[in-house]
């Protein structure tokens, strides 16, 4: 058995950021009950380190290309708010074995009958995609931003170009800090590989994958940066819905004004 008792300083810093972000998600009412999940690709911190735990090994049919991945990930059925001050109960670090037939929990997961989030397959497939195509993005945040979810129920969701223009035009920061916009990801069953593949397809060209009638997912260099994409995109949705609720369709920033902002991207 080779489990983690003392975390590397860099790993602890990343986990501390997760606790901070979990607090923000709870305060915003984006993480009801066990909604949402967070993960970090920690593989680079453990190169050359032998990690295993036969006592907590679980069979799982992973794609072969995720073998060896080391991931911090929140737990299934766990309340995201418990990541604030009970993180070793509500999350774990796991290592996928060398033939991708299962994983060992090597840290955390102290809650009784703990298991990683049911969205495990989505997380590991996104991490593997990012490791090749977007290697600085180590963190994934999936949550339930209220206004973005409402937008996914609106007919505008079926017109991605109009959807993004409607968000960007609401204030300059949305264009600057979510420059690639939101992908309108078609509905797929939670925890399915279909949902994972649709999310990856969306994140190839967009900052946020908005899961139809479900929630939203973003990746970033750390949990805070992933959260920032979601936070800013949701501000656009909130401003737009507020204008509609007030009875008018906002003109917003002009095409020339939006183009001018591209110098800051």
Residue 174 class from Cβ within 10 Å (0-12 exposed, 13-18 middle, 19+ buried)? buried
Query: In this structure, are residues 22 and 91 in contact, taking their beta carbons and an 8 Å threshold?
Result: no
**Intra-chain end-to-end CA distance of the chain, in Å:** 48
CA 20 to each of CA 5, 9, 114, 142, 164: distance values in angstroms, whole numbers, following the listed order = 22, 17, 22, 15, 29
Catalytic-labelled residue, pool 9, 119, 193, 224? 119
> Could you tell me the CA-to-CA distances from 58 to 73, 102, 179 in Å, in that order?
15, 5, 40
**What is the rounded CA–CA span in Å between residue 94 and residue 71?**
5
Element (H, E) at 191: none
Assess whether 147 carries a catalytic annotation. no
Q: Give Cα 39 distance to the centre of its chain.
A: 7
SS3 content of the chain, % helix, strand, coil (to 5): 45, 20, 35
Beta carbons of 181 and 203 less than 8 angstroms apart: no
The residues annotated with a catalytic role in the active site are: 119
């Amino acid at each position: 058995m080779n489990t983690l008792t003392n975390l590397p300083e860099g790993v602890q810093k990343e986990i501390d950021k997760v606790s901070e972000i979990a607090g923000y998600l709870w305060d915003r009412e984006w993480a009801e009950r066990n909604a949402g999940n967070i993960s970090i690709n920690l593989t680079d911190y453990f190169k050359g380190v032998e990690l295993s735990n036969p006592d907590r090994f679980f069979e799982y049919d992973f794609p072969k290309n995720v073998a060896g991945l080391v991931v911090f990930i929140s737990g299934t059925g766990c309340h995201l708010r418990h990541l604030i001050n009970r993180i070793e109960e509500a999350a774990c670090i796991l290592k996928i074995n060398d033939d991708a037939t299962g994983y060992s929990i090597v840290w955390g997961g102290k809650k009784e009958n703990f298991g990683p989030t049911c969205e495990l397959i989505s997380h590991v497939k996104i991490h593997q995609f990012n490791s090749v195509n977007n290697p600085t993005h180590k963190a994934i945040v999936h949550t339930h931003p209220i206004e973005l979810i409402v937008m996914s129920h609106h007919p505008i969701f079926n017109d991605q170009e109009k959807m993004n223009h409607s968000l960007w035009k609401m204030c300059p920061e949305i264009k600057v800090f979510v420059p690639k916009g939101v992908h309108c990801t078609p509905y797929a069953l939670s925890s399915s590989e279909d949902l994972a593949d649709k999310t990856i397809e969306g994140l190839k060209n967009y900052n946020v994958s908005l899961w139809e009638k479900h929630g939203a997912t973003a990746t970033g260099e750390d949990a805070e940066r992933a959260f920032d994409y979601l936070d800013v995109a949701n501000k656009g949705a909130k401003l737009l819905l507020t204008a509609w609720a007030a009875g008018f369709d906002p003109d917003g920033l002009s095409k020339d004004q939006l183009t001018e902002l591209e110098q800051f991207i």
